Amino acid sequence: MTDGQAIACNGKIELTDELKKILLIEKEIRKVLIGQDYLVNRLLIGLICNQHVLIEGVPGLAKTLSVNTLAKTLGLAFKRIQFTPDLLPADILGTLIYNPKTGAFLPKKGPIFGNIILADEINRAPAKVQSALLESMQERQVTIGDETWALEQPFMVMATQNPIEQEGTYPLPEAQVDRFMLKVKISYPDRAEELKILRLMARSMPVADINIVASGADIMTLRDSLDNVHMEAVIEEYIVDLVQAGRNPDSYGIDAAHLIKYGASPRATIYLTLAAKANAMLQGRMYVIPEDVTSLVFDVLRHRLIPSYEAEAEGLNSDDIIRMIVDKIPAP
């Protein structure tokens, strides 16, 4: 977001203190991160919407750096969990430790007790471990023994998947991956960006100190403002049509019924609405435009719209089918 993007229908508007801090957050992140504007935008959207983000990309694309830097700019507790096949639920949630002096069991909290959690290569751990993490994401609490603790807010999980390695992995079931608001696919930098990365990062000493320019309270204030972002009825109907078309493509004149195994649930409708509102806020607007929706529809739907075997046989994935839907349904 830039100052020039803070425009309302009747001219320029005054940026709120919270939105000014978003600008400062992005400026701090740019000290160590070249490119990846798309990733940073999606991370901020997830944080503002109080939801979680699944990131897919090959190793070395600054996924960990992006998440860690975001946490530093907000002064929040960052925890990184490396998922491996031998990981146990207790390694994430915590466990009870016996104290021989008192004869009591004392809780030892796991790394889930943080603000921003990076679940690195989440599909490397078996289903029981995945479920332990995803339950914490949904319930926002952890039970160890007989005691339950609410997780501190803001709380957000950003999980990564490596798309090029499938050996020794445990793919997340559709019902579990549906708990992520967005599935973000990131790619390689272009030549100019990679040259900047070389000049900035190819050194032995730390690149720059990251300053705390906002706080968790600022994020909570932005969350409270989300309901004040205006969305016209025609845009609400557009969102519903996009999701409905994935379930009943024939009703919208889209020849894709044979390509779709399952469409997205109403959760996709809710998340696309919230994400569009958050994106409008990040652009300095308190109203949603159709571009807010179309820019996020792939991130919200790609892990919820399940292609059929016939689609896979034709070399089509969920993004291809979503593109067919977006091209067919006119934006208001």
Residue 175 in this model has a pLDDT that exceeds 80: no
Question: Cα(19)–Cα(22) distance, rounded to whole angstroms?
Answer: 5
Count CB neighbours of 109 within 10 A: 13
Q: Same domain for 278 and 316?
A: yes
> Is 222 domain-assigned?
no
φ, ψ for residue 54, nearest 5 deg: -105, 125
Query: Within a 13 Å sphere around the CA of 300, how many CA atoms are in the beta-carbon half?
Result: 29
Q: Same domain for 181 and 264?
A: no
Residue 278 CA: distances (Å) to CA of 81, 93, 141, 251: 27, 30, 25, 30
Q: Same domain for 212 and 239?
A: no
Which tokens go with 20?
């000014």
> Is 250 domain-assigned?
yes
Q: Same domain for 193 and 243?
A: no
- Which residue did the predictor score with more confidence, 304 or 104? 304
pLDDT digits 0-9 by tens, 30-53: 888 888 889 999 999 999 999 999
Q: What is the pLDDT of residue 165?
A: 61
> Is 223 domain-assigned?
no
Domain hosting residue 265, numbered range = 229-332
Q: What is the pLDDT of residue 20?
A: 82
Q: What is the pLDDT of residue 209?
A: 81
> Is 184 domain-assigned?
yes
Mean of pLDDT over the chain: 87
Residue 17 in this model has a pLDDT that exceeds 80: no
Q: Same domain for 179 and 35?
A: yes
pLDDT digits 0-9 by tens, 131-173: 888 778 888 999 888 888 999 999 999 998 877 666 657 777 7
Q: What is the pLDDT of residue 161?
A: 85
Torsion of CA 311, 313, 315, 317, to 10 degrees: 30
End residue of a domain, out of 192, 216, 240 = 216
End residue of a domain, out of 166, 191, 216 = 216
Average pLDDT over residues 65-88: 90
Q: Same domain for 155 and 101?
A: yes
- Return the beta strands (E) in 83-206 as ranges: 94-99, 104-109, 116-120, 141-144, 147-150, 156-161, 182-185
CATH number at residue 284: 1.10.8.80
Average pLDDT over residues 306-328: 94
Handedness of CA 266, 271, 273, 274 (dihedral sign): positive
Confidence of residue 99 (pLDDT cuts 50, 70, 90): confident
pLDDT above 90 as % of the chain: 47
Question: Cα(214)–Cα(17) distance, rounded to whole angstroms?
Answer: 10
Residue 1 in this model has a pLDDT that exceeds 50: no
Residue 81 is inside which H or E element, if any? Answer: strand 78-82
pLDDT digits 0-9 by tens, 200-219: 888 776 667 888 998 888 88
Residue 16 in this model has a pLDDT that exceeds 80: no
Domain count, the chain: 2
Question: Cα(220)–Cα(140) distance, rounded to whole angstroms?
Answer: 15
The Cα angle at residue 7 between residues 5 and 11, in degrees rounded to 5: 150
Q: Same domain for 177 and 242?
A: no
Q: What is the pLDDT of residue 167?
A: 60
pTM over 0.75: yes
Q: Same domain for 200 and 297?
A: no
Question: Cα(213)–Cα(30) distance, rounded to whole angstroms?
Answer: 13
Residue 5 in this model has a pLDDT that exceeds 70: no
110 and 92 in contact (C-beta within 8 Å)? Answer: yes
Q: What is the pLDDT of residue 11?
A: 34
Count CB neighbours of 14 within 10 A: 9
Average pLDDT over residues 85-89: 90
Q: Same domain for 145 and 32?
A: yes
Q: What is the pLDDT of residue 57?
A: 84
Q: What is the pLDDT of residue 203?
A: 77
Residue 4 in this model has a pLDDT that exceeds 80: no
End residue of a domain, out of 157, 186, 216 = 216
Question: Cα(44)–Cα(290) distance, rounded to whole angstroms?
Answer: 20
Residues in Cβ contact with 28 at an 8 Å cutoff, skipping those fewer than 6 apart: 69, 72, 73, 210, 211, 213
CATH number at residue 43: 3.40.50.300
pLDDT digits 0-9 by tens, 250-297: 999 999 999 999 999 999 999 999 999 999 998 888 899 999 999 999
Q: Same domain for 96 and 171?
A: yes
Question: Cα(67)–Cα(63) distance, rounded to whole angstroms?
Answer: 6
Q: What is the pLDDT of residue 12?
A: 38
Question: Cα(318)–Cα(156) distance, rounded to whole angstroms?
Answer: 26
Confidence of residue 8 (pLDDT cuts 50, 70, 90): very low
Residue 307 is inside which H or E element, if any? Answer: strand 306-307
H-state helical runs in the chain: 17-29, 37-48, 63-74, 89-93, 127-139, 174-177, 191-201, 216-225, 233-247, 266-282, 290-294, 297-301, 309-313, 318-328
Q: What is the pLDDT of residue 237?
A: 97
Q: Same domain for 74 and 122?
A: yes
